[in-house]
Amino acid sequence: MNKIITVSREFGSGGRELGRRLADAMGMEYYDKEIITEISKHTSLSENYVRQIIEHKPHNLYPITIGRSILYVESPEFSHAQSVYSAQRDIICDLAEKSDCVIVGRCADYILKDMKPYRLFVYADMDSRVRRCMDRVNPEESFTEKELLRRIKSIDRDRAKYYEYYTGMKWGDRLNYDYCINTTNIVIKDEIPKLAALFM
């Protein structure tokens, strides 16, 4: 069975950088935004639309376990959300079966649970997350710290709702992960050798 590492992360914690650097250090494939491109191909929905579905909470009245109700049979938004998740699940399973890999987000820890991945959750205190976002903000954009703080909280709320909707588990709960990594005030690249050694 292939070695699989899944990375869930708070926005601004550096989880994406950690995942990419870890994959490079271990000679593993790395999957993140590429999954959205593949979902778009499988569903014939635009990448922007797929991204909107994934990055925002699904329908806020009915959990996935209820399935299709009469109320939503004609709802294209509900139908698209289910199609996107189904394609996402199939693509992630296919990627994990092909080779050793690091997969960021997308409920991969839950989708691949039968393959026993190493499940990471990356977090940091809010000051550190705001600073990291400020350092990486597009020069053409201008966010105040207060605006970034609101954005961080909003994105985390949406990630939590999306994860809990499709998995029935609490996003960020340490009991759902094998390693919880605090990136507060650390230089991520300096921590990679020690982290990679855990999975060798």
Percent of the chain with pLDDT over 70: 87
- Please state the pTM of the whole predicted model: 0.84
Sheet of strand 118-123, all strands in order from the earlier edge strand to the far edge = 29-31, 101-104, 4-9, 118-123, 179-182
Angle of the 47-55 helix axis to the 145-167 helix axis, nearest 10: 90
Q: How many whole angstroms separate alpha carbon 115 and alpha carbon 106?
A: 16
pLDDT tier, 16 (very low <50, low <70, confident <90, very high otherwise): very high
Give the pLDDT confidence of 133-151 residue by residue, as tens digits: 988 877 667 778 899 999 9
4-191: CATH topology is Rossmann fold (3.40.50)
Give the pLDDT confidence of 56-110 residue by residue, as tens digits: 655 443 444 434 344 444 456 667 778 888 888 999 999 999 999 999 999 999 9
Angle CA 114–32–43, to nearest 5: 80
Answer yes or no: is pLDDT of 199 > 70.
yes
The 3-state secondary structure of the chain reads: CCCEEEEEECCCCCHHHHHHHHHHHHCCEEECCHHHHHHHHHHCCCHHHHHHHHHCCCCCCCCHHHCCCHHHCCCHHHHHHHHHHHHHHHHHHHHHHHCCEEEECCCHHHHCHHHCCEEEEEECCHHHHHHHHHHHCCCCCCCCHHHHHHHHHHHHHHHHHHHHHHHCCCCCCHHHCCEEEECCCCCHHHHHHHHHHHHC
Beta bridge partners of 8: 121
Answer yes or no: is pLDDT of 15 > 80.
yes
Answer yes or no: is pLDDT of 2 > 90.
yes
pLDDT at residue number 41: 82
Nearest to 181 by CA among 108, 121, 102: 121
CB 105 within 8 A of CB 8: yes
pLDDT at residue number 66: 38
pLDDT tier, 196 (very low <50, low <70, confident <90, very high otherwise): very high
Nearest to 180 by CA among 166, 198, 162: 198
Return mean pLDDT, the chain.
Answer: 86
